Amino acid sequence: MVMVDRLVEVGNGTTVTAFLIREDNVFCEQGEFREPGLIENMAQTAAAGVGSKPGNSGGKAPLGFIGGIRNLKITGFPKVGQEITTRITVLHEVFEATIVQGEVFLGERLIAGCELKIFLIRQ
């Protein structure tokens, strides 16, 4: 399942993606993109940033696992047909674990955020 439509920006420890919420999305419920989708979108944005680093081009996208979620705060849910923008900022990298701060925006409004511990396996 893909929760990122396009890579908007990558650099200096930050990755930004955009994602259009579609009606057939598995994480939509009663016309809204719900909690699991917002979290998965943040995780896939983190993986997109790693996959776009020099030396990773042309290879397979890294396989990732969410190892932990801290301080999750959700203040709104995007509706079908709306586009969200997600920004990931790398806080720490240790071996195969990356700690990131994720933020999801609907327009200019922050609707979700958390700290994620992501484990990536480069194939």
Give the whole-angstrom CA distance, residue 82 versus residue 63: 27
- For 30-76, the pLDDT digits (tens) are 999 999 999 999 999 988 887 665 444 555 656 778 999 999 999 99
Predicted pLDDT of residue 53? 56
Residues contacting 95, CB < 8 A, separation 6+: none
Q: What's the sign of the alpha-carbon dihedral 6, 11, 121, 118? A: negative
Average pLDDT, the chain: 89
Is the per-residue pLDDT at 77 higher than 70?
yes
pLDDT at 97: 87
Q: pLDDT band at residue 120, thresholds of 50, 70 and 90?
A: confident
Cα separation of the two ends of the chain: 18
Q: Which domains are seen in the chain, by residue range?
A: 6-121 (3.10.129.10)
